């Protein structure tokens, strides 16, 4: 592959990863924006606008961060949201179908936010071939 194709493919994949992280967090927050579950209208108003501001700041931050920072911080927040959704799903009436989806999202989030750690440490723990050869 040419370097231009690789660079453009990486940009497209990164853009899709950013978009999916924002959409997953929006899908977690959306039910609470629609109906926070408070009796008073003042509490509903505060929670709705707080969640709207939080998701807006997260969206802006996701698209501003460098790729490595996005993989670390963005998918850590996706991990936290997936843990929350897993807990909510476990206490619901029919938890079994939803549990597997959230476990998959948790696993994927762990993969992405540990990717740079694995890449940087993977080369440091191997001895070079010259050190292993006997004289």
Question: Is 115 inside a domain boundary?
Answer: yes
The parent domain of residue 16 ranges over: 3-121
User: What's the pLDDT score for residue 116?
Assistant: 76
User: What's the pLDDT score for residue 126?
Assistant: 54
Low-confidence ranges of the chain (pLDDT < 70): 121-135
- Global pTM exceeds 0.95: no
Question: Is 131 inside a domain boundary?
Answer: no
Split into its structural domains, the chain has a count of: 1
| The three-state (H, E, C) secondary structure of the chain, written as one string | CCHHHHHHHHHHHHHHHHHHHHHHHHHHHHHHHHCCCCCCHHHHHHHHHHHHHHHHHHHHHHHHCCHHHHHHHHHHHHHHHHHHHHHHHHCCCCCHHHHHHHHHHHHHHHHHHCHHHHHHHHCCCCCCHHHHCCC
Question: Is 83 inside a domain boundary?
Answer: yes
Question: Is 132 inside a domain boundary?
Answer: no
Question: Is 126 inside a domain boundary?
Answer: no
Question: Is 35 inside a domain boundary?
Answer: yes
User: What's the pLDDT score for residue 127?
Assistant: 58
Question: Is 128 inside a domain boundary?
Answer: no
């Amino acid at each position: 592959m040419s370097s231009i194709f690789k660079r453009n493919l990486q940009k497209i994949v990164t853009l899709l990863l950013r978009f999916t992280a924002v959409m997953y967090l929006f899908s977690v927050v959306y039910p609470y924006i629609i109906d926070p579950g408070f009796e008073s209208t003042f509490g509903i108003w505060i929670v709705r606008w707080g969640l709207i501001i939080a998701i807006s700041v997260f969206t802006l931050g996701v698209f501003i961060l460098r790729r490595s920072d996005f993989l670390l911080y963005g998918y850590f927040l996706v991990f936290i949201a997936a843990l929350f959704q897993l807990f909510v799903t476990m206490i619901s009436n029919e938890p079994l179908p939803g549990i597997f989806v959230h476990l998959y999202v948790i696993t994927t989030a762990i993969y992405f936010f540990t990717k740079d750690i694995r890449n940087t440490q993977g080369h440091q723990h191997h001895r070079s071939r010259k050190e292993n050869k006997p004289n």
